[in-house]
Amino acid sequence: MKRTWVVAGLMCLSFAVQAETFLIENVRIFNGVDANLTPGHVLVNDGIIARISQDPIDAPDGATIIDGGNRVLSPGFIDLHVHLTGHAPANQTYSHATVAGAIAADVARHFLDSGFTTIRDAGGTHPDLARAFELGTLYGPRVFPSGAILSQTAGHGDWRHQDQPHPTLEGGSPYLFSGQVVIVDGVDQHLMATRENLRNGATQIKIMGGGGVMSQYDPIYSLQPTPSEIRAVVQAASDWGTYVLAHAYTSEAIRRLVDNGVRCIEHGLLIDDATAKYVKEHDVVISTQLVVYRALKDLPGITQTNLDKLDVVLKGQENLIALIKKYKITTGFATDLISGMYPLLTREFTERAMYWTPAEVLMQATSESAKVIRMAGRLNRFGNFGEIREGWVADLLLINGEPLEDISVLRDPDKNLALIMQGGKIIKNRL
């Protein structure tokens, strides 16, 4: 009796989740890996790219046919360095989590509407927000959250005003700014904070691995945290099959991080030739960003201390790009826009095209970033994406114009993204 009931229940379920099928005909495919376009047709079934063919595909029963009109079909874009909850204005007088969360919903909408079907949150955003997008409660990209950023006392994440008491020394919580950063010192606290992030649903762990621009009291040259503290975080992360990304600028900081198991360096602007070579030999990623550094000086609320530090790191940007090219270091596509600067997102495409070909920039924003995301191992519960390949997740964009010749078409997604598909679901259809 009971068994019959269960079977009937499963049958009902199979009706409820009936697979959606789309046949996208007559497109030129940029597969995320090759610099050329291949004419063809793509069948999407139940969220997955089921078939790619140069010959016409017979539409299965019930399939929705989409005429691509000879447009370019690209994998959805990926940004490796986003702070969804970091967009309250820098000169704010309000900092409650409610405000940061409400603004984050706008930021998320902007990303998905600009063709970014996946982002890696480089710290601050609670993994619950990622779950809300996944379940369809909120509109936004697929998020790989890092949870609270780990920072040592007096580190780049120690955003207290000078006269604000220490969060734990004064007997409070180690979390600052509505849980966006956690102040940790010593091996035990690093282990504990990493494990707490993983328990909450972080897919990778972010640490502040050296001095930063937007904090007031840590010099750019400062080394953060100690080798044993870094190893503790790396150990706790790798015990869950995932990796650590670290904010760092200088060669000394980067070398310490790489030596102790960090797999992804964020920013890296002051790296020298020998360290870049060392990074490549250790198969470590340098995820860097262009637009934000060029736009920060105009940010309302930026202090003279911030500007002085910005001046120091910005001088290294062209050298870093040359070294990434020289040693073919994996870099992906990342923006790190903060404090309301997210409308500058698509400017990153054209800024990069000053140094790389449009095809190379598109590979960074698709297959190369996806490779970095997959370093999360089994904590990636979404399958493979970032390339147009049979059996991979159907994150697809139909683009008006010729992005491989003129990438600036991506600056205007409302006009030039004719179709946005995420996980086999149509998000926008302007055909």
Nearest distance, CB of residue 9 and Zn ion, angstroms: 46
Nearest distance, CB of residue 365 and Zn ion, angstroms: 18
Q: Residue 90 or 122: which CB sits closer to Zn ion?
A: 122
Which residues does 415 contact at the CB level (< 8 Å), separation at least 6? 400
Q: Are 108 and 140 in contact (CB under 8 A)?
A: yes
# residues near Zn ion by CB under 5 A? 2
Nearest distance, CB of residue 343 and Zn ion, angstroms: 17
Q: Are 387 and 75 in contact (CB under 8 A)?
A: yes
Nearest distance, CB of residue 431 and Zn ion, angstroms: 36
Nearest distance, CB of residue 394 and Zn ion, angstroms: 30
Least Cα distance to 63 among 32, 94, 92, 41 occurs for 41
Out of 121, 218, 229, 336, which residue is the one contacting Zn ion (CB under 5 A)? 336
Cα distance from N-terminal residue to C-terminal residue, the chain: 51
79 contacts Zn ion (rule: CB under 5 A): no
Q: Residue 218 or 336: which CB sits closer to Zn ion?
A: 336
Least Cα distance to 414 among 112, 38, 11 occurs for 112
Nearest distance, CB of residue 206 and Zn ion, angstroms: 8
Which contiguous run of DSSP H or E holds residue 390? none
Q: Residue 50 or 122: which CB sits closer to Zn ion?
A: 122
The string of DSSP codes covering 251-296 is HHHHHHHHHTT--EEEEEEE--HHHHHHHHHTT-EEE--SHHHHHG
Candidate ranges 190-198, 230-238, 281-289, 330-338; the one touching Zn ion (CB under 5 A): 330-338
Nearest distance, CB of residue 386 and Zn ion, angstroms: 21
According to DSSP, residue 411 is labeled G
CA 167 to chain centre: 29
**221-246 core/surface letters (b: 16 or more CB in 10 A; e: else):** ebbbbbeebbbbbbbbbeebebbbbb
Q: Residue 80 or 419: which CB sits closer to Zn ion?
A: 80
- x-marked contacts with Zn ion along 136-175 as a string, rule CB under 5 A: ----------------------------------------
Q: What does each C-alpha distance from 416 to 372, 406, 413 come to in angstroms?
A: 27, 12, 5
Is the four-CA dihedral 116, 258, 313, 269 of positive or negative sign?
negative
Candidate ranges 112-120, 191-199, 232-240, 332-340; the one touching Zn ion (CB under 5 A): 332-340
Q: Residue 336 or 387: which CB sits closer to Zn ion?
A: 336
Q: Residue 122 or 253: which CB sits closer to Zn ion?
A: 122
- x-marked contacts with Zn ion along 103-122 as a string, rule CB under 5 A: -------------------x
Q: Give me the residue whose beta carbon is nearest to Zn ion.
A: 336
Enumerate binding residues for Zn ion (CB under 5 A). Answer: 122, 336
